[in-house]
Amino acid sequence: MSIDQLADIAQAMVAPGKGIIAIDESTATIKKRFDSVGIECTEENRRAYREMLLTTPKLGDYISGAILYDETLRQSTKAGVPFTKVMMDNGILPGIKVDKGAMPLAGFPGELVTEGLDGLRDRLKEYAKLGAKFAKWRAVITIGEDMPSGTCIEANCHALARYAALCQEAGIVPMVEPEVLMDGEHDIDTCYEITEVTLRSLFGALYEHNVMLEGTILKASMVVSGKDCPDQASVEEVAEMTLRCLKASVPATLPGIVFLSGGQSDEAATAHLNAMNQMGAKPWPLSFSYGRAMQSAALKLWSKDLVGNLAAAQQTVYARAKDNGLAALGKWK
Out of 60, 215, 262, 285, which residue is the one contacting ligand 13P (CB under 6 A)?
Answer: 262
Site string for ligand 13P, 97-136 (x = CB under 6 A): ----------------------------------------
> What sign results for the dihedral spanned by CA atoms 212, 217, 219, 224?
positive
Site string for ligand 13P, 15-54 (x = CB under 6 A): -------x--------------------------------
Out of 137, 192, 203, 290, which residue is the one contacting ligand 13P (CB under 6 A)?
Answer: 290
Percent composition of the chain: helix, strand, coil (DSSP 3-state, to 5): 45, 15, 35
Q: Residue 6 or residue 182: which is nearer to ligand 13P going by CB?
A: 182
Please tell me which residue in 97, 133, 136, 219 is annotated as part of the active site. Answer: 219
Site string for ligand 13P, 130-159 (x = CB under 6 A): --------x---------------------
The answer to whether residues 261 and 220 touch, using CB atoms and an 8 Å cutoff, is: no
Determine the Cα–Cα distance for residues 303 and 216; give it in Å rounded to an integer.
Answer: 36
Check binding of 192 to ligand 13P (CB under 6 A). no
Please indicate whether residue 219 is annotated as part of the active site. yes
Please tell me which residue in 129, 177, 208, 333 is annotated as part of the active site. Answer: 177
Please indicate whether residue 177 is annotated as part of the active site. yes
- First-to-last CA distance in the chain? 41
Out of 51, 177, 266, 323, which residue is the one contacting ligand 13P (CB under 6 A)?
Answer: 177
Please name the helix (run of DSSP H) or strand (run of DSSP E) that holds residue 153, with its range, or none.
helix 150-169
Q: What are the backbone dihedrals phi and psi of residue 305, each rounded to the nearest 5 degrees, phi first?
A: -165, 95
Q: Which phi-psi region, left, alpha or beta, contains residue 125 (left: φ > 0; alpha: ψ -120 to 50)?
A: alpha
Check binding of 95 to ligand 13P (CB under 6 A). no
Q: Residue 21 or residue 246: which is nearer to ligand 13P going by CB?
A: 21
Mark the segment that binds ligand 13P (CB under 6 A) among 35-43, 54-62, 181-189, 258-266: 258-266
Cα 37 to Cα 30, 301, 302, distances in angstroms: 11, 9, 9
Q: Cβ of residue 32: shortest distance to ligand 13P, in angstroms?
A: 12
**CB neighbours of residue 36 within 10 Å:** 12
Q: Cβ of residue 210: shortest distance to ligand 13P, in angstroms?
A: 25
Taking Cα atoms as reference points, which of 268, 261, 188 lies closest to residue 231?
A: 188
Mark the segment that binds ligand 13P (CB under 6 A) among 58-66, 115-123, 197-205, 287-295: 287-295
Q: What are the backbone dihedrals phi and psi of residue 44, each rounded to the nearest 5 degrees, phi first?
A: -65, -40
Residues paired with residue 103 on neighbouring β-strands, in sequence order: 113
Contacts with 191 (C-beta within 8 Å, 6 or more apart), sequence order? 143, 180, 182, 223, 224, 225, 226
Q: Residue 100 or residue 125: which is nearer to ligand 13P going by CB?
A: 100
Out of 291, 302, 310, 313, which residue is the one contacting ligand 13P (CB under 6 A)?
Answer: 291
- CB-facing half-sphere around the CA of 107: CA atoms within 13 A: 5
Check binding of 62 to ligand 13P (CB under 6 A). no
Out of 249, 261, 274, 303, which residue is the one contacting ligand 13P (CB under 6 A)?
Answer: 261
Interface with ligand 13P (CB under 6 A): 22, 138, 177, 260-262, 290-293
Residues with a catalytic annotation lie at: 177, 219
